Structure 1
Amino acid sequence: MLLPRRAGRRTNVGLLGLLLLAGGTGVLAFAVGSPGPARLVVAAHGAAGLGLLLLVPWKAVVVRRAWHRRPVGSGGLALGVATLLTLLTGVLHAAGVTGPWPWSAGVPVLHLHVALGVATGALVAVHAWGRRQRPRATDLHRRGLLQAGALAAGAAALWGAGEGLLRLTGAPGAQRRATGSFDRGTDDPAAMPITQWFTDTAPPAAAGTVEVVAAGRRLRVPVADLDRGDTVRAVLDCTGGWYAAQDWGGVRLDRLLALLGPGLPADGSVDVVSVTGYRRRLPLADAGGLLLAVSAAGRPLSAGHGAPVRLVAPGRRGFWWVKWVARVEVVDAPWWVQPPFPLQ
């Protein structure tokens, strides 16, 4: 096997950069639901992951050189295995081989990919400890920048070739959404998977009314009164790797708040809270585009999908779509003063 003659610090820096980019865009992909930005984030995530393969020949030289000095420790081997498995599961999900399989204990391949990615990140931190490299002025010289540009171009080309191959072969992965999710139940709510955020649990019973609070005023609205003829077609895009487009029916959030009467705040945020305590805070300015839904595709919501009422937040990932809504409250705090992902 022919290997490059020169490899060293820049190889390791390149690998670290790609790993950090893959990890960062992987987290960001869970947060971005709009197709345009999501496509860019997912493309960067895929290119960064596949770009690691381009540096394998150079990394092999580094490993062989280190082996001659002293045997490679188990930490480096574990990191290599975890990285390859993370890459493999990511490719399988992108291709549409979503699982679960008998050997995976019912866990979908995307969840395996995320778990392996977290493990890889931890191993990178351990492996890099004590091996810190100081920035050098030469890193920004023409040769270093050209090498970085070539790596970026090669990674993008490899990702593009993979996407082209999926479309050429008609693989299921060619039909995935910009976020990487696959269709599961569009216009058929009964076919949608029943999932919730991992920190949340399905309640034994849901609320029969929704409490609306703003400017010191308080009102309890029976769920039966929330079907006010407002409809929106929106895509529920779950971070579990599936999506479904439905015609959701209920009441717009701004119309619900208007039931409290005039003189409500013109700005601020709105907290939407579940009977479980799960909550998300959204800009009050977006209230006209948010819906408290009691039906999907003309059918009442099922308990697993948030009955009797759930939030519909177009353009946002599924963890924003609060289920089993019990309270809607206008608050003064900015909407971004909350964890980027739910912790409760």
Structure 2
Amino acid sequence: MASRFVRTVRRLEPPPRAVDWSIFVLVVFEAVSGVITLGAGHPANALLFLLHGVAGVSLVALVGFKLYRVRHRVLDSRLHDKHTLASVVLAVVALAALATGIAWVAGVEVRLGFWTLLNVHIGFGLLVLPILLVHLRSRFHTPRRVDFADRRRALQYGALLVFGAATYRATEAIGSIQGVQRRFTGSRPLPPGDGNASFPVTSWVADDPAPIDPDSWRLSVEGLVDNPFSLDVSDLESDRTESVLLDCTSGWYTEQDWTGIELGSLLERADVHSSARWVTVRSVTGFRWSFPIEEAAEMLLATHVGGESLSHGHGAPLRLVAPNRRGFQWVKWIDTVEVRRRRDPAQWLAVLVSGFG
């Protein structure tokens, strides 16, 4: 039986270098697509999430081939070298990223403090790429055409793709049988509710300012405008209510009635220059995000949710409501709206460091 299994593995397994480079390509794809999906909230992006999932399951098979091939070098301490530890750590972190992602899709409910399995999956996924680069420094082998240019290789990779797609769909089916509802982003619905208490307070990185003094707070509208101006709390006359879905990268979503001011009406009042193309919405913490001006004009600056004034944790006195955007792009504690010719080049740096000051 064991010898039959070995023969089957050898027939299905591509050459060692093909396996290694396929793992590298898929890890890079998973890392890049994973980062992109953090900000992809529009249903038009659903295919990217599907490809991310299928590639992840396919990666499981490739890692399995790899581990089976090197099992003796790992299990026999006499064969260890100075690079073995990094290789083992890479395998553990990669398998942890894959396992937590698959478990989340299958409907497993586990929380580690404030983190869901999806958060843990993202964390492990971000760790894989730098460890892989360290691993490559010691195990690098140039790919060869002969390892890929073969009809049998095409069949092997075709089978791998079918395996990945079928297994991913089966994992989704397991979650559905358990009654788990997921958006295409992977997020699950919160229990129905209205107002501040119906969804958790979350902050990106370390954004957690002290409660804002309404007497000193001002909203500035500036940049490429002919009529810059500022508003205080008494000027926030909420005149529009919309039901909009908030999809958080923590793995949950909720649909709420948001009441506030049309961002487009403020841009119209400011008399935007014809050269303007982007709008940057900035928080008191320095966190900010840029949006195409046509999209920004349709957004809402919310003062209330579910008929209640926003709590401090949910962004009072003013937060952005950005349909089809992920939760971290719904900027909280807004104090500036800046009209620009180009996207704010420092926004990614602000995402990483905002709140630490």
TM-score, length of structure 1 as denominator length: 0.87
**Using the alignment, how far apart are the partners of 1:81 and 1:291 within structure 2?**
44
1:45 aligns with 2:56: no
Q: Secondary structure at the match of 1:244?
A: strand
The 5 Å alignment of 1:226-241 reads 226-241=236-251
| Matched letter for residue 268 of structure 1 | R
| Residue 92 (structure 1) shift | 2.5
Aligned residues: 336
Q: Which residue of 98, 105, 111 corresponds with 1:94?
A: 105
Q: Which residue of 286, 296, 302 corresponds with 1:277?
A: 286
The 5 Å alignment of 1:1-344 reads 1=2, 2-3=5-6, 4-5=9-10, 7-37=15-45, 39-55=46-62, 58-64=65-71, 66=73, 70-71=79-80, 73-100=84-111, 104-138=112-146, 139-167=148-176, 169-172=177-180, 175-184=181-190, 186-189=192-195, 190-206=197-213, 208-214=217-223, 215-260=225-270, 262=271, 264-265=273-274, 267-334=276-343, 338-339=347-348, 342-343=351-352, 344=354
| Matched letter for residue 165 of structure 1 | I
**Using the alignment, how far apart are the partners of 1:230 and 1:253 within structure 2?**
11
Q: CA RMSD in A?
A: 2.6
What are the Cα deviations for residues 163-214 of structure 1, in whole angstroms up to 9, with x where unaligned?
Answer: 12222x2342xx0111111122555231211011104223331554312224
| Matched letter for residue 246 of structure 2 | L
Structure 1: gaps spanning 5 or more residues:
none
Q: Is contact 2:33–2:52 with CA below 8 Å preserved after alignment?
A: yes
Q: What is the percent sequence identity of the aligned residues?
A: 35
| Matched letter for residue 175 of structure 2 | L
What are the Cα deviations for residues 114-145 of structure 1, in whole angstroms up to 9, with x where unaligned?
Answer: 22222322221121223333243332443333
Q: Secondary structure at the match of 1:130?
A: helix
| Residue 264 (structure 1) shift | 4.1
| Residue 31 (structure 1) shift | 1.4
| Matched letter for residue 198 of structure 2 | A
Q: Is contact 2:301–2:321 with CA below 8 Å preserved after alignment?
A: yes
**Using the alignment, how far apart are the partners of 2:47 and 2:61 within structure 1?**
21
**Using the alignment, how far apart are the partners of 1:263 and 1:59 within structure 2?**
57
| Residue 251 (structure 1) shift | 1.3
| Residue 296 (structure 1) shift | 1.4
The change in CA–CA distance for 1:74 and 1:178 in structure 2 (over 3 A counts) is same
Structure 2: gaps spanning 5 or more residues:
none
Q: Is contact 2:226–2:272 with CA below 8 Å preserved after alignment?
A: no
**Using the alignment, how far apart are the partners of 2:289 and 2:145 within structure 1?**
45
**Using the alignment, how far apart are the partners of 2:200 and 2:141 within structure 1?**
46
Superposition misfits of 4+ residues, deviation over 6 angstroms: none
Q: Is contact 1:248–1:297 with CA below 8 Å preserved after alignment?
A: yes
Q: Is contact 1:98–1:110 with CA below 8 Å preserved after alignment?
A: no
Q: Secondary structure at the match of 2:51?
A: helix
**Using the alignment, how far apart are the partners of 2:201 and 2:20 within structure 1?**
42
